[in-house]
Structure 1
Amino acid sequence: MPRILAPLFAAATYARWLHLLIGMVFAGVVLLVYPGTEEVSLLRIVTAGAAVDSVLLALAATVPAMRRAEGVQARLLLMPAREEDIGAEPSRGWRDRRRTAAWLIGRVALGMTAGLLSVHALTAAVLLLTAPARDDALVLYGWTLPVSGEALYPVLAPVVLFGAGWLIVWAGRLQLAMAVRLLGPSPVERLAEAERRAERLLERNRLARELHDSIGHALTVTVLQAGAAREVADPVFTAKALEVIEETGRRAMDDLERTLVLLRESPGGPAVEQPGIDRLPGLFETARAAGSAVEAWIDVPAGELPGVLSRESYRIVQEAVTNVLRHSPGEPLIVRITVRDGQLEISCVNVCAGGGSTRRGGGKGLRGIVERATLLGGAATAGRQDDEWVLAVRLPVRLGA
């Protein structure tokens, strides 16, 4: 029973009914202008009115903004499950204009039919309810109802209203289906939306990598520094460790602030500049303060690397340093960065502590390095070679990018 009655009292049913009545009002206004209703046969009213309506609606559909107006109205009154199922963009070509014309004609035809039937059903329900109070026989659309049954006629009124209600429900659903079919995004719009969705997904993945690299590095350094300060129990070392923790935390907060600004999509916000290859010396100092000796050779001419390549190179080396601090604490790290034959070559080598671990090959950080290199058109490999762990990355350098 709830399934039968619930649609009759749903807000969407009456919003869609209003949408149907708008189509009926349009057809009615046109009908009053031409061919009129006096001394005109019903056949001529229907044929002439339909022809005039179709011509006017087809002409209106040639205006690009008409498709947008109909889409906005359909979203508001037809209440689709997802708004994006009904487009709200102007017509971009004649295919969109033809679909808009079909929608307008179908909308008015369905609205006129459903509107007239629902109005007549309401009229019949009122007549049935008032039948016992009449002095003469009830004539309902040319049918004279027996006077003997007047006491039962009010009982039929709810049945008529129930039928009229479900007529409105089904007409509204049909109108919604037409809107999704004819006002829905075109293949070009769907492709553009798919591309935008893919771009947003790639951006989210990039931000996730940024947070993983930055916050993961900061937490690793913080834990190591705090543990070392507790073990050493030297005031001078403790002060130095606290200084490193403070500086590392500040950098992580800057990265977090920048990422949150991007997530909020507020370009005018106080975004923090992303670190580049020029910030690597500070990163190496943090690693040295954590107890890992770092030897670095950076042979890259100033200003030669494009901005995106500089930023991604920093993140790649940062992840390598984090892995050393996490899996081989205290072991030396050798970093070489150079540009040769149009390729940026990054090499990070460290001794595997305790014989090494193969689990790092499947970590999120190393997967992120491979993804970064692939997106930039390069390649990355990481694995154990004898007693060393070697990360090698090659990225094409496109000058002026």
Structure 2
Amino acid sequence: MRILLRRWACLLAGGALLAPYPLMFLIWTALFHGPILGLSARAAISGVAVALAVLVSLLPMTRRMEIAIATALLGDATGPLSAEGTQWRASVWYWLHLLLGGITTVLTGAAPFVLATCLAAPFADGMVSLPDWQSRAGGPGILVAAGALLAAAPIAGLVAGCGAVLSRTAPVLLGPSPVEKVADLERRTRALAARNRMARELHDSIGHALTITTLQAGTAHVLFDQDPAFARQALAAIEETGRVAMAELDHVIGLLREGSPAAAAPTLADLDQLLAANRTLGIGIDATVSGPILAVPGTVSREMFRILQESLTNVVAHAGRTEITVRLAATADQVELDVVNPLVPRRRFARHGGGQGLPGMRERVQLLRGEMTAAAEGGHWRVRVRLPLHPAR
């Protein structure tokens, strides 16, 4: 019943929008009687009224008004509506709204008077005049009243049908077109890709910093009394790692804030700083770098830095203090990374719950059309990555 009443109100709104045109016709035909531009007054005024209605239906403001009416009175059943779209579809909706609304308004206005007259027929003293038919009080009047009551159901059904037509045509005529739907899907896809990129950035940078900080803090706690010098070194490493993490967090927040300049993301130019931060944990890193690493394009350089960072974080988290071999080579066409460490039993302090390390690395590699393998080989865990310097080619 609530849905029916809302649709009925929407139809009455269409009748209200239609009312100015017949009112204008009645007023002007009462004022003008002679021919206008060779046409009769009624024909000319009718043409002006129709032309004005067509002009109003093509206004963008009319589309926004109809969307507001449909959203407020037809509810969620209309589906998504779009204020920007093909105007001719909104014009068709406007005319449909006027037509069905006019029919409903006339029936709504006339029905109570006709019904009251028919119900009064059995009790009227003398003749009760109806269109093209007369009935006396008594038996014939009862038939008139019964017919009026029976006619109420089809009228209510007609109103309900008109409301259903509006509800079903609203998303077609006022909703986004197929082209707009594709464009909206592309916008959503880009937004989702941006969110995934932000998630990878946060996971790799902040996760790496927290892993190093946690291990350094644990080491400092254990060796604080036995080796104060090493404990102070660990605390200094925590301080430096915190500064780096804050800088990288500023970078990610800058990407999220529209219109604000983002801090520069780390690249392979920051490789020495990354290796030094991991060596402070007591990890032996045998790093070999060859080729023009600093000439690697910015996007590839940033992604390869993150891949190496996450590889080292995984080793620290799962293998602890161990020996790591890192080989990084750049050529004219590609940059290659090879990270190898001994396999050890899973440690108690290994990270749990994130699960985004290897999947995040693979996403980065796939986006740049590279290749990646990560598997156990002869008692060692090896990660191999190859990224083309020009992925778009």
In the superposition, the TM-score normalised over structure 2's length comes to 0.76
Is 1:6 matched with 2:2?
A: yes
Q: What is the aligned partner in structure 2 of residue 244 from structure 1?
A: 237
- Say if 2:330 is the partner of 1:339: yes
Three-state SS of the structure 2 residue aligned to 1:85 is: coil
2:97 alignment partner, one of 107, 114, 120: 107
8 Å CA contact 1:131–1:138 kept in 2: the answer is yes
Q: Does 1:365 align with 2:376?
A: no
Q: What residue number does 1:88 align with?
A: 83
Instruction: Give how far 1:260 is off.
Output: 4.7
Query: SS of the residue aligned with 2:19?
Result: helix
Residue of structure 2 in register with 1:28 after alignment: 22
Matched, 1:175 2:169: no
Deviation digits for residues 192-217 of structure 1 (CA, Å, limit 9, x no counterpart): 11111111111121122222222322
For residues 194 and 216 of structure 1, do their structure 2 counterparts lie closer, same or farther at Cα, with a shift above 3 Å needed? Answer: same
Deviations 1:331-356 (A, max 9, x none): 12222222214112122222222599
Gaps of 5+ in 1: 40-45
106 and 238 in structure 1: CA distance in 2 versus 1, 3 angstrom threshold: same
Which residue does 1:42 correspond to in 2? none
State whether residues 86 and 180 of structure 1, in contact with CA within 8 Å, keep that contact through their aligned partners in structure 2.
yes
CA distance in 2, matches of 1:211, 1:232: 31
Distance 1:164 1:250 in 2: 75
Q: How many residues align?
A: 377
Residue type at the aligned position of 1:16 = C
Aligned to 1:89, the other structure's residue is in SS state coil
CA displacement at 1:245 relative to structure 2: 2.6
Q: Which residue of 1 aligns with 2:369?
A: 377
Deviation at 1:19, TM superposition (A): 3.1
Residue 23 of structure 1 deviates from its aligned partner by 3.3
Distance in 2 separating the partners of 1:28 and 1:187: 36
Structure-2 separation of matches of 1:382 and 1:71: 57
What is the CA-CA distance between 1:109 and the residue it aligns to?
1.1
Q: How far is the alpha carbon of 1:73 from its aligned partner? A: 3.6
Q: How does 1:134-153 map to 2 (within 5 A)?
A: none
Once the two structures are TM-superposed, the CA of residue 60 in structure 1 deviates from its matched residue by 4.9
Are 1:226 and 1:241, in contact at CA under 8 Å, matched by a contact in 2? Answer: yes
Which aligned pairs between 1:51-62 and structure 2 lie closer than 5 A?
A: 56-60=52-56
Counterparts of 2:233 and 2:9, CA distance in 1: 69
Q: Cα 1:286–1:326, aligned 2, differ >3 Å: closer, same or farther?
A: same
Q: CA deviation at 1:288?
A: 0.9
Between the aligned partners of 2:222 and 2:148, the Cα distance in structure 1 is 89
Amino acid at match of 2:76: A
Conserved 8 A contact 2:78-2:167: no
Q: Identity over aligned residues, as a percent?
A: 34
1:388 counterpart = 2:384:
no
The 1:68–1:104 alpha-carbon spacing in structure 2 relative to 1, beyond 3 Å, is: closer
CA shift for structure 1 position 325:
0.1
Q: Kindly provide the CA deviation profile for residues 112-152 of structure 1, in whole angstroms up to 9, marking residues without a partner as x.
A: 111211222344567789999999977676776766699xx
Q: Is the 8 A contact 2:129 2:135 kept in 1?
A: yes
Q: Closer, same or farther in 2 for the Cα pair 1:74/1:8, shift >3 Å?
A: closer
Distance change >3 Å, CA 61–CA 146, structure 1 → 2: same
1:214 counterpart = 2:205: yes
Q: Give runs of aligned pairs for residues 154-193 of structure 1, distance below 5 A.
A: 170-193=161-184
Instruction: Deviation per CA, 1:283-332: give whole Å up to 9, x if none.
Output: 21221112212233344647633322222112111110111101221112
**Do the aligned residues in 1 keep the contact of 2:268 with 2:305 (CA within 8 Å)?**
yes
Number of the residue aligned with 2:36 = none
- SS of residue matched to 2:26: helix
Q: Does structure 2 conserve the Cα–Cα contact (< 8 Å) formed by 1:23 and 1:109?
A: no
Paired position in structure 2 for 1:205: 196
User: 2: CA distance between counterparts of 1:169 and 1:74?
Assistant: 17
